[in-house]
A and B are shown apart, each in its own frame.
Chain A
Amino acid sequence: MTRKPVLEHPTLAVIKKAFPDAGLKATEFREMTTVVIPREKIHEVARYLHDSPDCDYDFLADVVGIDYMGYPVEQPGRFAVSYVLASGKHGLRITLKTYVDPSVDTSGIDFDPELEVDSITDIWPGAEWPEREVYDMFGIRFKNHPDLRRILLWRDFPAHPLRKDYPLRGRGEREHYQTLNRESR
């Protein structure tokens, strides 16, 4: 049973007025509002939400990557990046979301210009580590990120393991190690 989303979030009217032709879409689930933003506009809208006194989203709660491969509902793209924002002044929360679609094979770690989103670390410095985690796990790169390295896995790991086409047990990464025996020195 589908329910029509209730779009009463006060920020929606503000950004609709500020970005009339940005192609923003909004949805809502259980009083949590999500704004879907095209990839090119994410930095601009985030900057506005941070700086404008009507919005004043001073806190970035998290940056999340999502892989929609095999998702039961049709989605605009294979991957998504979500930004959860909070405003202490207005007591509001809002989620920004942008979809990206890969253009090269997703089983490896090759650079994909389609899987690149503008970094928001210049707006919220706290985005640095969450963006590194999204890069580590999904291979979505962040343009102008100050230090885009893997954060959990090591540098030479040959995949991005939270992609749905990566096997749960890995491709032998956990077996390829030197073995010590009792005579090892």
Chain B
Amino acid sequence: MGIEAALPHDSIMTTQFNRVVNWARRSSVWPLPFATACCGIELMATACSRFDLARFGAEVMRFSPRQADLLIVAGRIGIKSLPVLQRIYMQMAEPKWVISMGACASTGGVFDTYAVVQGVDQFIPVDVYVPGCPPRPEMLIEGIMAIQRIIDNDNIPKDQDGKRLPLNIAVQPNFEPSAQPVDVSIGAT
């Protein structure tokens, strides 16, 4: 498994305290789904058995902001519901992270009207944007993995010059593309 497999079973191992804390935090991210639109359906699919968000320790959807670490804004936010979103963000206990899921939450999407917020990042801090309309569950899983990477590093990892390093997260496809069926032409021999 890990390094503990190489150790004798009666020995100890030292590490940094915040590494342990971050390990605990990233292994049990409890999301609050602020799902207002079709992205919420993909969010539900992500939590269900086929994609199984529980593999990442993030399956416990909390509908109370006091118990959640991660706010997933999924769907368009009207200016009438923005104060609600802001209050929910304020009510979440530190530390907290925010995913803006989908085109509408990130930019307003196709709803370029007087009543829709053109990106929730104008009004609340956002850590990870998940593009798509709606994003596939794999993309949301990548977003949550990015959040886990941010938690592990206490921030977005940067190099000595202060430039952001790539997170190097990619969900690998679990299948090999095989040869596609060939068109059948009638009358050919």
Contact = CB atoms under 8 A, between A and B. Distances in A.
A interacts with B: yes
B116 interface: yes
Nearest to A172: B114
Interface in B104-137: 112-118, 122-125
Given A168-B114, A169-B113, A170-B113, A175 B90 contact: no
Interface residues of A, number: 20
B55 interface: no
B115 A170 contact: yes
B163 interface: no
Nearest to B87: A180
B64 interface: no
A138 to B, nearest CB: 15
A184 interface: yes
Main secondary structure of the interface of B (DSSP, over half): loop
Nearest to B124: A180
Contact of A174 (B86, B114, B124): B114
B86 A169 contact: no
A153 B80 contact: yes
A182 B80 CA distance: 22
Interface string B82-97: 1100100110000000
Contact of A177 (B82, B113, B114, B116): B82
B115 A161 contact: yes
Interface residues of B, number: 18
B80 A154 contact: yes
A136 to B, nearest CB: 12
B60 interface: no
Contacts of A179: 122-123
18 contacts: A161-B115, A168-B113, A169-B114, A173-B79, A173-B115, A174-B116, A174-B118, A177-B82, A177-B83, A177-B86, A177-B123, A178-B123, A179-B122, A179-B123, A180-B89, A180-B123, A180-B124, A181-B125
Given A167-B114, A168-B114, A173-B114, 8 more contacts: A154-B80, A161-B115, A174-B115, A177-B83, A179-B123, A180-B86, A180-B123, A181-B125
